[in-house]
Amino acid sequence: MDKVYIVNFVINQGGDYTTMESTYHKTLEEGQGEFNESLDSVGEDPTMVELVELDLGTMKGKILESFEGTYEDLNEE
């Protein structure tokens, strides 16, 4: 295993309260699945979801997919 896939899920709830959750996956398929499930959780609060590929050899990350907005923004895409 030379790569890890990270899904970050951040919600800004009311301006002063932010929650962040990260999950770690061994395969792109698992990470992509978690990313898609996270998109299903987007609501009225501003939310950021990203799928990051981390190369364990170089420790460099690359954002593969990202979304930032609310449920309304998601439905516009």
| Average pLDDT over all residues of the chain | 94
Per-residue pLDDT of 17-73, as tens digits, reads 899 999 999 999 999 999 999 999 999 999 999 999 999 999 999 999 999 999 999
Q: How far is CA 55 from CA 43, 50, 66, in A?
A: 31, 16, 18
Per-residue pLDDT of 25-41, as tens digits, reads 999 999 999 999 999 99
Among candidate residues 46, 52, 33, 40, the one with its CA nearest the CA of residue 73: 46
Domain coordinates in residue numbering, the chain: 3-76
Q: How far is CA 49 from CA 1, 2, 18, 58, in A?
A: 24, 23, 13, 24
DSSP character string of 25-53: ESSHHHHHHHHHHHHTT--SS-EEEEEEE
